Amino acid sequence: MKVLIDTSIWSEALRRKDKRNSSITNSITNLIKNGQIVMIGPIRQEILSGIKDFKQFEILRNILRSFRDYPIKEIDYEKAAEYYNICNKAGIHGSNTDFLICAVAIENNFQIFTLDKDFHNFSSVIPINLFAN
């Protein structure tokens, strides 16, 4: 099964100087070896945003270029808005990017690998499949 890796995981693996969380690094390594990683443009943008050192930006950009962006379709944006509305009605809040991640994952039967607790809340009302690390 393909796995859509959220920004929180990429940040943990790529941007942190302290890489003590070897289970995340091991999981990403295995997913890469098995060709299971899915990248989308909004996650790529989040990862690269806010990097003050241009050399570090270039290094991360070049690493991420190994992963082509999965195409996001019109229906994905529509579903993201629908999931936003469903969750909001249930008192569960998240970002537009988070709901786009959910929509792409649901529509394509991808798992979501994240450290963001919001996704656990979303899973109580929309059918996302979270990757178990």
Domains by residue range for the chain, with CATH: 1-133 (3.40.50.1010)
Q: What angle do CA 21, 23, 25 make, to 5 degrees?
A: 75
Place of tokens 């936003």: 84
Given a cut of 90, whether residue 47 has pLDDT beyond it is yes
State mean pLDDT over 16-35: 82
Name 113's bridge partners.
Answer: 5
Does the reported pTM lie above 0.85?
A: yes
Q: What angle do CA 79, 81, 86 make, to 5 degrees?
A: 90
Given a cut of 60, whether residue 12 has pLDDT beyond it is yes
pLDDT, tens digit (0-9, with 9 covering 90-100), for 55-64: 999 999 999 9
The tokens for 48 are 């690269």
Kindly give the residue spans of alpha helices, DSSP state H, lying in 50-116: 54-64, 74-89, 96-108
